[in-house]
């Protein structure tokens, strides 16, 4: 895609923006750079470098089996604030 002043004028109409001559020139340079980068990515056809990492990565998994959990009273006994059923957490975000 060729980036010209006409392209920038069309984009500015669609985006409801206005640019002076200096801003248009800077925008054309920036857009050409982005399009060059996209073209470079399109021409890059090898993904072997990232695929090779996946098979070598292993993570031991825990057995998926039912087990007894901690008693609620024991867990809540170490909490700084709680009621009979759950932890009480101080408010950290104010509304407004």
C-alpha of 69 from chain center: 35
**Would you say residue 4 has pLDDT above 80?**
yes
Longest Cα separation, the chain: 72
pLDDT at 62: 81
Is residue 54 predicted with pLDDT exceeding 70?
Answer: no
Compute how many other C-beta atoms are within 10 angstroms of the C-beta atom of residue 71. Answer: 9
What is the average pLDDT score of the chain? 84
At residue 44, does pLDDT exceed 90?
Answer: no
Residue 61 has pLDDT above 90, yes or no: no
The answer for residues whose C-beta is within 8 angstroms of residue 58's C-beta and 6 or more apart is none
């Amino acid at each position: 895609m060729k980036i010209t002043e006409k392209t920038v004028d069309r984009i500015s109409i669609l985006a409801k923006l206005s640019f002076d001559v200096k801003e248009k020139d800077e925008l054309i340079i920036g857009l050409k750079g982005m399009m060059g980068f996209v073209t470079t990515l399109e021409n890059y056809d090898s993904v072997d470098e990232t695929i090779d990492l996946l098979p070598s990565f292993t993570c031991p998994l825990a057995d998926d089996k039912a087990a007894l959990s901690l008693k609620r009273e024991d867990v809540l006994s170490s909490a700084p604030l709680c009621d009979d059923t759950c932890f009480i957490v101080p408010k950290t975000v104010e509304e407004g």
